[in-house]
Amino acid sequence: MAGMRGHGSPAEGVSARAAPSVLRLREPLERLYRDCDYAARVERDAIRFPLRYPDPADRELVALLTACLAYGRVDLFSRALEQALGAMGPRPAAFVRGFELERDAAAFTGFLYRFNRPRDLVAFCLAARDLLAAWGSLEAYFMAGYSVDDPHVGPALERFTRGFLGADLKRVFPRGRLSRGYRHLFPQPSTGGPCKRLHLFLRWMVRSEPPDFGLWRQVPPAKLLIPVDTHVENMSRAVGLTRRRARTWRMAVEITRRLAALDPADPVKYDFALCHKRMSGDCRDRRDLVVCAPCGLRTVCRHWRGARRA
């Protein structure tokens, strides 16, 4: 797969020359992870949607739909997601398992969010219905494409997305061409993009430490890759986890490799705290005497490098 060629496991690939500078991050990042107010920040994060559902089948399905739609501003996609979940009723997994195009497609009438239209949600339900009928759960389907020999979750994620993109959706897309909106829900690692939303989904499903709920226990957290959005990208560049300028698959692998030097068993545990550090306004991606004063990352932040020398 072109987008993943030549990438080893996240725990590998940190050069001896780079190791000392990466290891300088251990204490500041551990402190950031330890001191993050997860309970407060979860209410401002997309993870709050699957957490509403105690049943594992509902939580798994809602987690995937949430991650697929989690692009753009949180308040905007949250409103769209509320509309979609409202249409699916109190038991989303049962709604999808019993989904019938002629009867249920109208539930999404009026749905509109950036690239996505009602037919994209209809296609999601049909594809998920058929995969659940064949495999029993999304976890079982994902694990069918997972190998312990894979360096990370990338190859399994590629196979996972193929199931949704290759589903029989001719009744939704009569010309056999998937809509842009539906394809946007399932980015593939082989295209070279960071696949942030699907890595976010896997983080929720695999990790069992706060704030994640870890329903999937067969994939070790060491195999995860970090979900790189604009917040994680800027924070990672600020503290020296990457110098890349483009948000790509390679950036996600590089950042994860360097975090694996700090915690090989759970490198993406820092993701939530890094993301919300900037999302909350506690980092401006520049030097700010007031905002930066209490920040525990200042000693390793590129914006304060000159101040340290002075």
Tens digit of pLDDT per residue, the chain (310 long)? 444 544 555 655 454 445 557 889 999 999 999 999 999 999 999 999 999 999 999 999 999 999 999 999 888 999 999 999 999 999 999 999 999 999 999 999 999 999 999 999 999 999 999 999 999 999 999 999 999 999 999 999 999 999 999 999 999 998 889 999 999 999 999 999 999 999 999 999 999 999 999 999 999 999 999 999 999 999 999 999 999 999 999 999 999 999 999 999 999 999 999 999 999 998 888 889 998 999 999 999 999 886 544 4
Residue 127 belongs to domain spanning? 2-309
Prediction pTM value = 0.92
Can you say how many angstroms the Cα of residue 3 is from the centroid of all Cα atoms in its chain? 17
Count of structural domains within the chain: 1
Q: Which residues pair with 113 in a beta bridge?
A: 116
Residues composing the chain: 310
Please give the backbone phi and psi of residue 187, each rounded to the nearest 5 degrees, phi first. -65, 145
Quick one: pLDDT at residue 9? 58
Quick one: pLDDT at residue 305? 81
Q: Which of 138, 52, 39, 115 is nearest to 88 (CA)?
A: 52
Quick one: pLDDT at residue 152? 97
Q: Which of 97, 268, 237, 252 is nearest to 187 (CA)?
A: 252
At 27, the amino acid letter reads E
